[in-house]
Amino acid sequence: MGQDLWVSKSTGERRKGTGFLDFKKIFTDKITAQVIYEALVSCSAQSNASDARQALTERDFDSAGVVDVQENIIGFVMTNSLIDGQVKDYLIEIKRDRIISDSTPLFEIFNVLKNNDFVYVNYIDKVVGILSKADLNKPPVRIYIFGLISLFEMHLSYWIKHYFPDDSWQSVLSKGRLKILEGVFAKRRENGMNQQLTIKECLQICDKKNILLNNQKFIDFFDCSKKKFKKSMESIESIRNNIAHAQNSILEGSNIEIMSDALNFCEHFLIRSDDAVLELAKN
């Protein structure tokens, strides 16, 4: 893996689809809140509270929108709060910080959901849907996260090659870890995988973290303390494993705030790394 992955050796031009901004543009323009939100279930402000609670409970809804006689959304209610009287007696105002546009990109949704269990989705000044943390488990979100982390790993491999030429990174890892990597490498070759595969391509995120933590030039260049880099890498590894193996929730063993911070770290790193790789290629 090297500059030729991103930049053509013959023309010096960036290869299409390899830049982080290219990747981000796909998920900014094409995959937004619109593809993962659920249509808003609503009940009339004048309806009986206990009847509404029963109907919402049967449908496993924690909340619902409330509409007036003109069918306009005027607020929302929490299912468990509905007891006696009318639904309007339990009305909660929908504040602006709980409303997002249906064109909100995925990377912004994580930041919004750090402070709210759910938000409402607006389309042309009208609330049309609801989006909760559970919606982050949907395939488009998983694809976005996995793609982002995969690109992040590719860049880490580039910097390992840059700062540790001729496989000098092997001196950083323990003999036990190297033996495990050699076993993985041998098994992949035996299974008929790419015969040009190198042992460096068998490195896991934890290995890349340990290797790059041992190069102060890398840490200084990316203006990141060793403590922050280590913590972010551990979070990213956990998220990546959950994406690859979790059947239900990708938030298992983590939380939305940790995930949001880790993905933001990936984005900031990739923006800086992209520019640096291009500059090195030109030189």
pLDDT tens, 25-68? 887 777 899 999 999 889 999 999 999 999 999 988 889 999 99
Candidates 167, 275, 282; CA nearest to 221 is: 275
Looking at residue 235, what is its pLDDT? 92
- pLDDT, the chain, mean: 87
What is the Cα–Cα distance from 229 to 262, expressed in whole angstroms? 10
Looking at residue 163, what is its pLDDT? 94
Is residue 1 pLDDT above 50, yes or no? no
What is the Cα–Cα distance from 256 to 224, expressed in whole angstroms? 22
Domains (ranges, CATH) in the chain?
3-30+139-282 (no CATH), 33-136 (3.10.580.10)
DSSP 10-77: TT-PBPTT-SHHHHHHHHHHTSBGGGT-EEPPEEETTSBHHHHHHHHHHTT-SEEEEE-TT--EEEEE
Q: Quickly count: other Cβ atoms within 10 Å of residue 56's Cβ.
A: 20
Residue type, position 80, single letter: N
pLDDT digits (tens, 9 = 90+) for 211-230: 999 999 999 999 889 999 99
Residue type, position 247, single letter: Q
Question: What percent of the chain is modeled with pLDDT above 70?
Answer: 90
